[in-house]
């Protein structure tokens, strides 16, 4: 709800739910994913949060855990839910592995570990508060030297300009161009930027 303001956009919802133990958190990036995740959640007795968005990716990815969509050796970029298409555009031509998840809790630590090498640069792109899953990355890679760049809705300032979804993405650096710049800068060799 880009025109309704920050309270309706709820950028801290996943971080808030994540503070409660035992919750499953789904962040589908396509209507087919949302349908599947909802139908799978209904008969269970667990605690499930399904975060829906007006944004969607062009294709559904119905795998469980992280789905590896691109293979590379320079780093790992994790895309959550509806940011995937922008991440794929932003990483075009980069030698990076791209992982996608529509379920972010429980966090697929094993899937992330299998995608990293002895040392890793990890970029985490989430459509809510930047860094919400940073603690999960740190835990999954606790014995692996790594650097992490967390991208998402800015924590430092409340954007009060009301506009379209694209306006909010630009303001938070979540458009494809801003993501490309942030990812390239983070992955650049020291002393090259």
Nearest to 73 by CA among 110, 116, 113: 116
Q: Please give the residue that has the higher pLDDT: either 3 or 142.
A: 142
pLDDT band, residue 13 (cuts 50/70/90): very high
The C-alpha atoms of residue 9 and residue 176 are separated, in whole angstroms, by 20
According to DSSP, residue 122 is labeled E
pLDDT digit string (tens) for 99-115? 999 999 999 999 999 99
CB 17 within 8 A of CB 25: yes
Q: Please give the residue that has the higher pLDDT: either 144 or 9.
A: 144
The C-alpha atoms of residue 151 and residue 140 are separated, in whole angstroms, by 18
Q: Which tokens sit at 34?
A: 């949302």
* pTM of this structure: 0.93
% of the chain with per-residue pLDDT over 90: 79
At 190 the pLDDT is 58
DSSP H helices in the chain: 6-9, 13-18, 31-41, 84-90, 109-115, 134-140, 165-172, 176-187
Please state which architecture CATH assigns to domain 6-187: 3-Layer(aba) Sandwich (3.40)
CB 82 within 8 A of CB 55: yes
pLDDT band, residue 164 (cuts 50/70/90): confident
At 2 the pLDDT is 52
pLDDT above 70 (res 62): yes
At 117 the pLDDT is 80
Q: Please give the residue that has the higher pLDDT: either 193 or 46.
A: 46
Half-sphere exposure of residue 132: CA atoms within 13 angstroms, side-chain side: 26
CB 55 within 8 A of CB 80: no
């Amino acid at each position: 709800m880009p025109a309704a303001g920050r309270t309706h956009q709820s950028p801290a919802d996943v971080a808030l739910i994540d503070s409660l133990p035992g919750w499953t958190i789904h962040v589908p990036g396509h209507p087919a994913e949302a349908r599947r995740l909802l139908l799978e959640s209904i008969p269970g007795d667990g605690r499930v949060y399904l975060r829906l968005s007006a944004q969607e990716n062009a294709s559904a990815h119905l795998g469980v855990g992280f789905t590896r969509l691109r293979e590379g050796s320079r780093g790992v970029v994790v895309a959550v839910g509806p940011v995937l298409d922008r991440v794929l555009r932003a990483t075009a031509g980069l030698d990076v592995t791209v992982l996608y998840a529509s379920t972010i809790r429980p966090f697929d630590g094993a899937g992330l570990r299998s995608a990293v090498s002895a040392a890793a640069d990890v970029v985490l792109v989430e459509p809510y508060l930047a860094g919400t899953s940073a603690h999960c990355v740190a835990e999954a890679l606790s014995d692996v030297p790594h650097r992490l760049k967390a991208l998402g809705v800015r924590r430092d300032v409340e954007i009060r300009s009301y506009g379209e979804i694209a306006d909010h993405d630009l303001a938070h650096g979540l458009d494809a161009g801003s993501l490309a710049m942030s990812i390239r800068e983070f992955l650049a060799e020291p002393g090259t930027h």
